[in-house]
């Protein structure tokens, strides 16, 4: 089935889905064109090359999975509730896209996005821990510990999911240990 009005957004969405399913290698023009029911010409109408698609896909991940959730949680006034909600959301879904990106950090655009995400997430948590009364240095260390637990849990979800048990219970336990 040919789709005549395919836009850049649909290419980016399909590429992000492909990234989640198969890693960076799955973000390939021909398979995506087949999946979308279009020719490669549609791709080249919207993107100069695969690198531009990858950059747009990584930017989409940042908007949807980093900026969006942090912006939504910023309106939670109570820092403890904000942290509990953030850590709960982090454990609600296996972070498969994130793990795929961690596996692809040899690509500069991916490495930069993963680093930005880490900085933004750690800074967000450090501010909340600071609002709970921790010193600036302790708040940052606590945020780094929380983020390290997230990254480690992401790898375990991929590599040894049977160790994790109930993800919601684990997320709650991690949050309680970190926040008190």
Q: Given this model, what pLDDT does residue 109 score?
A: 97
Give all domains of the chain, ordered by start, each with its CATH number: 8-179 (1.10.357.10)
Q: Walk along the chain (180 residues) and give the pLDDT tens digit of each residue.
A: 444 457 899 999 999 999 999 999 999 999 999 999 998 888 999 999 999 999 999 999 999 999 999 999 999 999 999 999 999 888 777 778 999 999 999 999 999 999 999 999 999 999 999 999 999 999 999 999 999 999 998 888 889 988 988 888 888 899 889 997
Quickly count: other Cβ atoms within 10 Å of residue 58's Cβ.
27
CA terminus-to-terminus distance, the chain: 55
Q: Given this model, what pLDDT does residue 2 score?
A: 44
Q: Given this model, what pLDDT does residue 67 score?
A: 97
Nearest-angstrom CA–CA distance, 124 and 137? 14
Nearest-angstrom CA–CA distance, 23 and 16? 9
Q: Does this model's pTM top 0.75?
A: yes
């Amino acid at each position: 089935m040919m789709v005549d009005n395919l836009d850049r957004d649909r290419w980016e969405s399909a590429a992000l889905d492909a990234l989640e399913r198969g890693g960076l290698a799955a973000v390939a023009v021909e398979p995506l064109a087949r999946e979308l029911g279009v020719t490669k010409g549609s791709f080249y109408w919207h993107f100069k090359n695969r690198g531009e698609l990858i950059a747009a896909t990584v930017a989409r991940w940042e908007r949807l999975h980093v900026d969006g959730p942090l912006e939504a949680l910023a309106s939670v006034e109570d820092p403890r509730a904000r942290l509990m909600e953030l850590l709960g959301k982090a454990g609600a879904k296996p972070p498969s896209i994130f793990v795929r990106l961690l596996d692809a950090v040899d690509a500069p655009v991916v490495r930069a996005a993963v680093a930005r995400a880490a900085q933004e997430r750690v800074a967000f948590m450090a501010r909340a821990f600071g609002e709970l009364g921790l010193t600036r240095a302790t708040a940052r260390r606590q945020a780094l510990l929380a983020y390290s637990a997230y990254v480690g849990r992401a790898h375990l979800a991929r590599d040894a999911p049977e160790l994790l048990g109930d993800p919601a219970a684990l997320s709650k336990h991690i949050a309680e240990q970190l926040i008190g």
